[in-house]
Chain A
């Protein structure tokens, strides 16, 4: 989980063009990190590439912050 969290944060920082230290567990992609709707899509695509997984579009849309993303991805990776 720890490794996944670090990788998720790195992807978020890279994709949303924010510094890594601003990406916290509780950071909301839209409210705190300024993600626009298109960037949310790009973020999902980047997670899929980073972890070599498929994320269901509608389920992924419900993921609003870093902590949720880590939990969501961990579940898929553990399968």
Chain B
């Protein structure tokens, strides 16, 4: 059986986090949604079908073609899997072909027999074929909304810890540091360093420290928590429900938040119930609210319309390559696009700041344009010995055009 992980039309509901990545690369728990698919199907060929504008980036990154039916032709059946599915332990998937699993009106999986796959197929025709298969109502966690990876994160970390089969301290842990709670509720990978005066609090859930992580003195990490490869925790309170992707620098106070990777929140300031992209830099004292003073549910402004999340605690959503200045303050449920430049100076940000916009002294501005932002991105990535690929630049350029009208509208509105 081959696997085809696909993006459906709801991928755009997860903007700005999915402007530059497919849905299955969202971090939740101790890995991405795709990591959980790979865990479930360790011996199967996995292929992908994404939004057309993203295909060149993934072709390059994965080193094999995406959005190509030729990958699927042959004698093996094909399991279509929704790329927004957060697969947990014990998910049922049929091994016999000819069944679709739905969650409400959304296809979670469709298992097509090999002879059903034709050279002229595209994603739409494959999904149509899947939709005609016998239907099975399935309880699966689909990421339908921007705030849901954070909502499921603590639970997903616990599940991932249970399934990874690794426990104990294999890295270097200074004797002046403490595991406070069950000692078998921790994994410190080989090559990780826990400095003196660090507390790993495992009472509420597991603490997973990946390889190459450095945890500096006066850091308290409260489980469930996942600290990804080569991260540095530079002092502060990492409270329950946090997941950090590779090479983040995190300090201050962080609670129930996800940082995709390669981002800095080095200094003091509070980040709660937030989901942050890659290559983001949050200046000192950048803080978001995640709870309204009247304890009512938080609404998000998505594509100009307010949506009630139904959740009491929702923080901020920050797109890739965005930078905030010292003292930036974000209101409850703020969405900031990709490549924004925020100079907060005390004024609360608008609830949504379109991609590439600048926010200066309470005013939204167009900024210096695409090339200037690309130059900054190249410089930031070079510091971590990474390269901005031409395919990624092209995708960013498309997002720049796609978000132009929203940006200009925000500028006009800001001028009154």
B28 within 8 A of A: no
A42 within 8 A of B: yes
Q: How far is the CA of A38 from the CA of B366 in the complex (A)?
A: 12
Docked-complex contact B365 and A61, CB < 8 angstroms: no
Q: How far is the CA of A37 from the CA of B372 in the complex (A)?
A: 12
A61: B residues at CB distance < 8 A = 368-369, 372
Docked-complex contact B363 and A45, CB < 8 angstroms: yes
A57 within 8 A of B: yes
Q: How far is the CA of A41 from the CA of B360 in the complex (A)?
A: 9
A58 within 8 A of B: yes
Instruction: Pick the most buried of A38, A49, A56, A57: most chain B CB atoms within 10 A of its CB.
Output: A57
**Chain A's nearest CB lies how many Å from the CB of B346?**
15
Docked-complex contact A58 and B371, CB < 8 angstroms: yes
B388: A residues at CB distance < 8 A = none
How would you classify the secondary structure of chain B's contact residues: helix, strand, loop or mixed? Answer: mixed
Q: How large is the interface on A (under 10, 10 to 19, 20 to 34, 35 or more residues)?
A: 10 to 19
B366: A residues at CB distance < 8 A = 41, 44-45, 57
Q: How far is the CA of A58 from the CA of B371 in the complex (A)?
A: 7
Given contacts A57-B369, A58-B371, A49 and B415 within 8 Å (CB-CB) = yes
Give the residues from 351 to 382 in chain B that come closer than 8 angstroms, CB to CB, to chain A: 358, 360, 363, 365-372
B338 within 8 A of A: no
B97 within 8 A of A: no
A26 within 8 A of B: no
Docked-complex contact A57 and B368, CB < 8 angstroms: yes
Q: How far is the CA of A58 from the CA of B363 in the complex (A)?
A: 20
B14: A residues at CB distance < 8 A = none
Q: How many A-B residue pairs have CB under 8 A?
A: 35
Docked-complex contact A45 and B369, CB < 8 angstroms: no
Q: How far is the CA of A65 from the CA of B328 in the complex (A)?
A: 32
Q: How far is the CA of A38 from the CA of B359 in the complex (A)?
A: 10
Instruction: Pick the most buried of A45, A56, A61: most chain B CB atoms within 10 A of its CB.
Output: A45
B343: A residues at CB distance < 8 A = 38
Given contacts A38-B343, A38-B360, A45-B363, A56 and B369 within 8 Å (CB-CB) = yes
Docked-complex contact B368 and A58, CB < 8 angstroms: yes
Report the count of interface residues on B (CB-CB < 8 A): 15
B408 within 8 A of A: yes
How would you classify the secondary structure of chain A's contact residues: helix, strand, loop or mixed? Answer: helix
A54 within 8 A of B: yes
A38: B residues at CB distance < 8 A = 343, 360
Docked-complex contact A57 and B360, CB < 8 angstroms: no
- Binary contact track A36-61/B, C-beta < 8 Å → 1, others 0: 00100110110001000010111001
Q: How far is the CA of A45 from the CA of B357 in the complex (A)?
A: 13
Q: How far is the CA of A44 from the CA of B370 in the complex (A)?
A: 16
**Chain A's nearest CB lies how many Å from the CB of B324?**
14
- Binary contact track B58-95/A, C-beta < 8 Å → 1, others 0: 00000000000000000000000000000000000000
Q: How far is the CA of A45 from the CA of B410 in the complex (A)?
A: 13
Docked-complex contact B369 and A41, CB < 8 angstroms: no
Given contacts A38-B343, A42-B365, A49-B415, A58 and B360 within 8 Å (CB-CB) = no
Docked-complex contact A41 and B358, CB < 8 angstroms: yes
B363: A residues at CB distance < 8 A = 42, 45
Q: How far is the CA of A42 from the CA of B358 in the complex (A)?
A: 11
Docked-complex contact A41 and B367, CB < 8 angstroms: yes
B415: A residues at CB distance < 8 A = 45, 49
Docked-complex contact B367 and A58, CB < 8 angstroms: no
A58: B residues at CB distance < 8 A = 368-372
Q: How far is the CA of A45 from the CA of B368 in the complex (A)?
A: 11
B372: A residues at CB distance < 8 A = 57-58, 61
Q: Closest chain A residue to B367 by CB distance? A: A57
Considering the complex of A and B, which 5 residue pairs feature the smallest CB-CB distances, nearest first?
A57-B369, A58-B369, A41-B365, A57-B366, A45-B365
- Residue ranges of B at the interface with A (Cβ–Cβ < 8 Å): 343, 358, 360, 363, 365-372, 408, 411, 415
Given A42-B363, A44-B366, A61-B368, 4 extra CB contacts under 8 A: A38-B360, A45-B411, A54-B408, A58-B368
A to B CB contacts below 8 Å, 25 in the list = A38-B360, A41-B358, A41-B360, A41-B366, A41-B367, A42-B363, A42-B365, A44-B365, A44-B366, A45-B366, A45-B411, A45-B415, A49-B415, A54-B408, A56-B369, A57-B367, A57-B369, A57-B370, A57-B372, A58-B368, A58-B369, A58-B371, A58-B372, A61-B369, A61-B372
